[in-house]
Amino acid sequence: MVKGRRQHWNRVVAIVASVALVVGLMPLSMAAFTAEPALADEATTFPVTVKGGTANKATAKPGEEVTITANQPETGKVFVQWGSTSSDVSLNPLGETPAKFFMPDHGVEFTAVCRELVIEDIPSREYTGDSIKPEPLVYLDSVDLVTWDSKTYRYVNNEDVGTATVFVEFSDRPGSNSATFNITEADISTADIEVTDLVYGDKPDPTVVWESTAVTKTLEEEVDYTVTCSNANVAKPPSP
């Protein structure tokens, strides 16, 4: 009888042990199952907002690389750098466009910061017969001198007498401005003039060679100079 009771309690202990084992394993099984939401978080995307520019993605997942590009600013301004409300985002490079960053686990907003380009006044230049290419100083908001190596000058109508234009542009960023300057007539009073012997009544046809600091040029009548004659002291041929 005692022996039977022992076998009965042994079965009870075995059953309790089995239940305890199952209960002990449940947290591990549940932990493996609840890991799936982490995969869902990785698939979540966040918005990318760019003011004054564009992004190659409207939304992005955390850790994903995003490229932003500044738009062409209004005439007279130039892109300087990016502004951001997110201190935990690093742009590479900050002051250039396009720029890249890795998406954080929240939405981001960037602003293309532009400043006014101010070109110093260009004094009038005397006609030289060659292209005139001044390189005026350029400032940001009339305060900071522009020293970027990407700055270039482009010219229009900068050879003949009249109004010439110089454009300031940049090879690595959008933005430009322009200024005009005058090209004035040159003083040709020092030009060399050669005139061949004339027969009475003939109009002189001189050769006028003018030399400047840039070129030596044979001038063209009615374009570069005019000829006026006075025959008051010229002997007339004898009357027949």
**Cis amide linkage into residue 204, ω under 30° from 0:** no
Mean pLDDT of each 10-residue bin along the chain, 240 residues long: 50 47 40 36 85 96 94 96 88 85 93 96 91 96 93 96 96 95 86 76 77 75 75 56
H or E element at residue 17 = helix 2-34
Return the pLDDT at 204: 75
Q: How far apart are CA 110 and CA 89, in angstroms?
A: 10
**Cβ burial 44-64 (10 Å sphere, 16+ → b, else e):** eeeebebebbebeeeebeeee
The pTM assigned to this predicted structure is: 0.66
Within 13 A of 231's CA, how many CA atoms are on the CB side?
11
Q: How far apart are CA 195 and CA 183, in angstroms?
A: 30
Q: Give φ, ψ of 167 to 5 degrees.
A: -105, 135
Q: How far apart are CA 156 and CA 163, in angstroms?
A: 9
In order of their start, the domains of the chain are 43-117 (2.60.40), 120-184 (no CATH), 187-229 (no CATH)
Return the pLDDT at 240: 59
Question: Is 141 in contact with 109 (CB distance < 8 Å)?
Answer: no
